[in-house]
Structure 1
């Protein structure tokens, strides 16, 4: 697949919100991912809201990777340091290659442009599993907006090309 072929088509995405407290009606972080992705002409093929349960999260990600023909999965929520925050551990269990720059730059931008020293507790991560990109963002609208606009959307097509070349 050439970069031109990737650039000429919308990407196909899955969106997972990880939260014990949010509902479909209150999932502003997931709504923001979908809104920004679709505004950038991508297709959100599947979306779900899951509790902070690593096994369920791993099961859904593995199923989507196997059967949904996605270019990327974007997760929001469960990335902090609370005992129930298990998104990073679940993502870490399935990725084959981590993209460390994503978390590093996300924390830097969070520090300088959004939440200051609170960025210290962010564990945002990205990686690749079976040629599918996986991005895990915190659940706040500010964090999702920052991650999508400054990192994911500007680079996602290039990353899809790199993963598939």
Structure 2
């Protein structure tokens, strides 16, 4: 069924990648680079790639740039999704979403549990949704989490999600 929707998917998709971290730079941001590699392998255009501090204001500014830009279809975030006080990505993303895709977080936790981290999967706060006709995916910042999310969930459904957003 989902494969039928792929034929209606847009030819080109444009993406913003945001790494949320107090310590990463473009030279050592493995997770942001991994997101970029997965997207480019599927001919997704990377329109913007940035690293922001784990601060509500900075995350919100990056998100606002993406959702307000007509050339961004998808925003991929990684990092800042834990339960420490400094981890505020999810709170910022939840605040701007028009619609949530709860299945993304549910499936991510299930796959994480099955594949590698066991019961620690309950600590994952992966989230996806739509804001201003832009798909948003927020994943934990570890390269293993990004690989899992991109490979098993985001890339297989990204075109379908964007086509659903754009059809009305």
Same fold? TM cut 0.5: yes
Aligned length: 163
Superposed structure 1 runs of 4+ greater than 2 Å apart:
2-7
Query: How do 1:135-146 and structure 2 match up within 5 A?
Result: 135-146=137-148
Which residue matches 1:87? 89
Residue equivalent to 1:10: 12
1:151 matched residue in structure 2: 153
What CA RMSD, in Å, does the superposition of the two structures yield over aligned residues? Answer: 1.4
- Output the TM-score relative to the length of structure 2: 0.93
The structural deviation recorded for 1:114 is 2.2
Helix, strand or coil at the partner of 1:115 = helix
Shift of 1:23: 1.4
Q: Report the alpha carbon displacement of residue 56 of structure 1 after superposing the two structures with TM.
A: 1.4
Q: 1:63 aligns with which of 49, 62, 65?
A: 65
Equivalent position to 1:29, from 31, 41, 44: 31
1:68-113 Cα shifts (integer Å, max 9, x gaps):
5211000000001011000000101111100000000000000001
Unaligned runs of 5+ in 2: none
